[in-house]
Chain A
Amino acid sequence: MRRLLYLLPFLLFIGVGVAFYLGFQRDPRDIPSALIDKPVPAFDLPPLPGRAEGLSSARLTGDVTLVNVFASWCIPCKAEHPVITRLAREQGVTVRAINHKDKAEDALNWLARNGDPYASIGVDLDGRTSIDWGVYGVPESFLIDRQGRIRFKHVGPLTPQVIEEQILPMVKHLRQG
């Protein structure tokens, strides 16, 4: 009994060590979304000049959709763009976009240069709709189910790994529901 008591500080130390080891592996920038499993916020964003369709909450029901928040001034957006293009063109997932606090001209040039895989793009000039979505840093991507609920959120650029391991299995699961 007495010997066990002497072991206690050592055991406590091990416990704290494990807690710190696991804690420091987590990314402090990865903040859990408050909107998971909630319907997408009500919004209606206009299209880019010269385009027919913007993006509204009504458009986000019926099909499983990835909503990507991007801006032409955002460097990681350019990095994830080929990944999103492949997702839309080859892996058959509908991708729509919110163009976040961007100049229309810059956004159009950026899309002309990098390709446009988006089914439609809504322009969020003042960033207010992005706040309704809980966006705190572009790029961010949301997976919406057929009922128009947010089911998954990824902060930062999408990578092939995130697509393979998280997005595609989830899309498959949501399409059945």
Chain B
Amino acid sequence: MSAIRLAAALTLSALVLSPALAVQPDEVLSNPALESRARDISKDLRCLVCQNQSIDDSNAPLARDLRVLVRERLTAGDDDAGVMAYVTARYGDYVLLRPPFKATTLVLWIAPFAILALGGLATALFLRGRRGVTAGADTAPLSEDERRRLDALLRKDDV
């Protein structure tokens, strides 16, 4: 009896402890397809008040307003890109959690690859240089004077 009660209590607390959803029940659309599109769009839109949360995660009043707005646009028949355009027209590219690829964001997108290429090039050059050293390729042959001095040193060792 007490085991069942314990199990029930544990299940209940697990349910209670599940992460709180920012999306309120009264916001959810009755059409599940539209609602799932709304959730996907909301996950890519930044909450401007809390900045590093999406509006899908945020409890801020503005995030709620924007979630409702996204659902309204979808219900009105906008496609996903249309909804995104509607929001960016008001808040700029800043609301997009995935920055778009365009002239002003070129550095952002290209820099990691450029740095990787630069590092690769530097490494390749360095390794080529080292291979030359071990093979003695970049060492000039001994001059007449050096050979005589070397011979003298070696002879001294023999004694």
Contacts and interface: CB of A to CB of B under 8 A. Distances in A.
B90 A131 contact: yes
A136 B62 contact: yes
A169 interface: no
Q: Looking at B49, B62, B66, B93, which has the most chain A CB atoms within 10 Å of its CB?
A: B62
Interface string B137-148: 000000000000
A28 B61 CA distance: 20
B65 A34 contact: no
B49 A137 contact: yes
Interface residues of A, number: 18
Nearest to B87: A131
Contacts of B66: 131
Contacts of A23: none
A101 B49 CA distance: 16
A28 B65 contact: no
Contacts of B88: 34
B4 to A, nearest CB: 49
A132 interface: yes
A101 B89 CA distance: 22
A33 interface: yes
B146 to A, nearest CB: 24
Interface in A105-156: 126-128, 131-134, 136-137
A134 B49 contact: no
Interface string B36-55: 00000000000011010000
B89 A136 contact: no
B65 A127 contact: yes
A136 B94 CA distance: 12
A31 B48 contact: yes
A35 interface: yes
Contacts of B51: 28-29
A131 to B, nearest CB: 6
B109 interface: no
> What are the 4 A-B residue pairs with the smallest beta carbon separation, nearest first?
A34-B92, A136-B48, A134-B90, A31-B94
Interface of B: 48-49, 51, 61-62, 65-66, 69, 88-94
25 contacts: A31-B48, A31-B94, A32-B92, A34-B88, A34-B89, A34-B90, A34-B91, A34-B93, A41-B90, A101-B61, A127-B61, A127-B62, A127-B65, A128-B65, A131-B65, A131-B66, A131-B90, A132-B90, A134-B90, A134-B91, A134-B92, A136-B62, A136-B91, A137-B48, A137-B62
